[in-house]
Structure 1
Amino acid sequence: MKIKYLSAILASSLLIFGCGSDNDDEDIVVVEPPVVVVPPVVVDEAVDVDDATAITMQLNSFNATSGALTFTLTDAQGNAITNANDYDIVYFGYPDPASPSIKPKAWKHWHVTQRFQCDQTDSDNCVGLLQETQTLGQYTFDATGLDLESKAAAGAVEVFKVAVQIHGSNASNDITLIAADE
């Protein structure tokens, strides 16, 4: 009887503790995470305004009171355009289209303008201040001396618009009349 108990104890201890194994590291499968290749950081390409074959201007902001502008210049491939300094910027003032007038045909069509321009061949006579910001292709324009109100009856100018054209050696942007921020 004792032998039966002894063999049962030995069998259960073998089950509990198992037999020794010569598992080497060969049997262990180590799964390593895949190598992630981070693409290099692409810095926006910049093109000098005189090398651009096309110029696109996107107005970011226009303050009617001061005439301050912020805009972005890009070429046909979407690259930032730098070193812009030749420009024609014209501010327009219109009457309120909803206001009544005794001469509606003339009233609805009049406007006043003030032009700012710079031609690098005569940079001493530039009117206004165009500056490139820290962001590639972004510019601010300060319309020093903008006064559309003085060219019309007091309080008559209610709607403000601007047209911006930037010139390079090979291209200029299309002119679009853009309303001020509301």
Structure 2
Amino acid sequence: MEEWRFEPAHDFGLSAKQRRLSLRREVGLESAISCFLWRSITRVYLAIAHRLKIRGRENLPARAPFILVANHASHLDAIILGGILPLRFVGAVFPIAAGDTFFTKRASSIFATAFMNALPIWRKNCGAHSLEDLRERLLQGACIYILFPEGTRSRTGEMAPFRPGLGRLVAGTNIPIVPC
């Protein structure tokens, strides 16, 4: 059994706004509870209203880290994928979201962080430091990313060429990538 280590959170000392925009944001108690409730409600809604059936859940890795990748057809994709993951993963799931879409307005950034636990990537200014922060968190082993490697939504359902971010995140690691 590992000994307890007491150390400050990676986002210690950041203001609420800085924390929402940070790739190093940690899941606090309030966010863990709101994500759990949101994902539970989403799961029940999808099962009842849309009769969503989940196949292949046994193919998911037993524990983090891993990356779920999918074709991006709607802004609801991350909500649905987060909602169908086993609830034991709830505090470890981080959808990677477009900062310029979800993190420029206060209300949408609060929703994205409090209920989705999303991390922002700024598409016009995604430097190597952003990918390094995401990679470091992934290698620490306690997270699951939901990622759309095309970098944008597909209006037709056709797959577009992947952007290089996914490859940079996992190059030289044994992190499983799970296609959905």
TM-score for the superposition, normalised by structure 1: 0.22
- Greater share of helix residues, 1 or 2? 2
Larger radius of gyration, structure 1 or 2? 1
- Greater share of strand residues, 1 or 2? 1
